[in-house]
Amino acid sequence: MKKVKKYYIICKNGERRYRDKIYKIGKMAVIIDGKSLAKKTRENLKIECEKLKDKGIIPKLAVIMVGDDPASKVYVRNKSKACDEIGVKYEEYILKDSITQKELIDLIHKLNEDKTVNGILLQSPIPNHLDIDEAFREISSEKDVDGFNPVNIGKLLLNQDTFVSCTPYGIMKMFEEYNIDLEGKNLVIIGRSNIVGKPLMACCLNNHATVTVCHSRTKGLKEKTKNADILIAAIGKSKFVTADMVKEGAVVIDVGINRGEDKKLTGDVDFEEVKKKASYITPVPGGVGPMTIAMLMNNVIKATINQNK
């Protein structure tokens, strides 16, 4: 039998989280449990939602989806389930692929005007003939629970109160929960998407990390990732980050959700190998994904409270 010694870290809420140190094999990373943190977050939001209901206010999220992208269908279903659990009303607008830009913008304007709707989310991707930038711009910044409106992105860059995009926000909550301090750390993000990489860069900078954003044209990627105290992968390529790219003791966050031919979900990180080297790591599934939806719910409640002040 292997000799296993229990180590633990103390989380913000005083809870102890154990990790196993297995002699001879070496240290193993703490697995950041996004699933249970998301559950706890949703439970707290349910209480907030009940308080609003006592005042006669029922939060409502309107979700627009264009076409029938299979991955989007799954994301949208999960958002609807979270709304049901918390007590947020959920309204879905499934639009045909053939919809015109004007029809899409008219719907957004109608939802902006509707006082019973507190949050609006346009699920991406949308078909290429539509202009998603214009669509995000037209969502009222007060109902922009995804934080994709340029006004809210600008506020985030300026470190002002705003709706923080849900995936970066979820990652920040995980750092907070596990007492991972960003101040002065070399933090490398792989991926520069508008949805994850760019807002995440702003969040990390606002928390005093020294941030490097890498992308498909970055030269000497491995040199940069090997220097990262905190490495965040948001590329969309299964097991792209291998152990040789990771510094000993680094914190590794995996934003990827890739479905292989066998339908199995994998992240952007080679979890089994990298966990032997990292100090903390997020799994896929059960890491960043559930936190994204929990933070969307957080933003819907925040929008509702702001609109009823």
Active site residues: 79, 123, 146
Number of Cβ within 10 Å of residue 76's Cβ equals 19
Tell me which stretch binds ligand GUN (CB under 6 A): 7-15, 122-130, 211-219, 299-307. 122-130
Residue 290: cis peptide before it, omega within 30 degrees of 0? no
Residue 162 vs 167, nearer CB to ligand GUN: 167
Q: Residues 177-195, buried b or exposed e (16+ Cβ, 10 A)?
A: bbebebeebbbbbbbbbeb
β strands within 39-136, DSSP E = 60-66, 89-95, 119-122
| Residue 191, helix vs strand vs coil | coil
* Contact code string over 278-297 relative to ligand GUN, x by CB under 6 A: --------------x-----
* Least Cβ distance, residue 166 to ligand GUN (angstroms): 5
> Residue 261 corresponds to which tokens in the numbers above?
């031919």
Q: Which of 124, 162, 207, 279 binds ligand GUN (CB under 6 A)?
A: 124
- Count CA within 13 A, CB hemisphere, residue 33: 11
- Is position 122 an interface residue for ligand GUN (rule: CB under 6 A)? yes
| Residue 200, helix vs strand vs coil | helix
| Residue 237, helix vs strand vs coil | coil
* Least Cβ distance, residue 167 to ligand GUN (angstroms): 6
Residue 146 vs 177, nearer CB to ligand GUN: 146
- What single DSSP character describes residue 245? G
Tell me which stretch binds ligand GUN (CB under 6 A): 1-9, 108-116, 119-127, 298-306. 119-127
Q: Which of 30, 38, 49, 195 binds ligand GUN (CB under 6 A)?
A: 195
CA distance 134 to 112: 15
Residue whose C-alpha is closest to residue 232's, from 190, 196, 270: 190
- Is position 146 an interface residue for ligand GUN (rule: CB under 6 A)? yes
* Least Cβ distance, residue 63 to ligand GUN (angstroms): 8
Residue 234 vs 241, nearer CB to ligand GUN: 234
Tell me which stretch binds ligand GUN (CB under 6 A): 116-124, 215-223, 283-291, 297-305. 116-124
Element (H, E) at 16: strand 16-22
CA distance 163 to 148: 9
- Is position 144 an interface residue for ligand GUN (rule: CB under 6 A)? no
Tell me which stretch binds ligand GUN (CB under 6 A): 43-51, 117-125, 203-211, 246-254. 117-125
Q: Which of 37, 166, 211, 288 binds ligand GUN (CB under 6 A)?
A: 166
Which of left, alpha, beta for 27 (phi over 0: left; psi -120 to 50: alpha)? beta
Q: Which of 123, 140, 266, 299 binds ligand GUN (CB under 6 A)?
A: 123
CA distance 36 to 286: 8
- Is position 153 an interface residue for ligand GUN (rule: CB under 6 A)? no
* Contact code string over 238-277 relative to ligand GUN, x by CB under 6 A: ----------------------------------------
Which of left, alpha, beta for 143 (phi over 0: left; psi -120 to 50: alpha)? alpha
Residue 125 vs 184, nearer CB to ligand GUN: 125
Contact 113, 93 (CB under 8 A): no
* Least Cβ distance, residue 3 to ligand GUN (angstroms): 43
Q: Which residues bind ligand GUN (CB under 6 A)?
A: 121-124, 146, 166-167, 195, 292
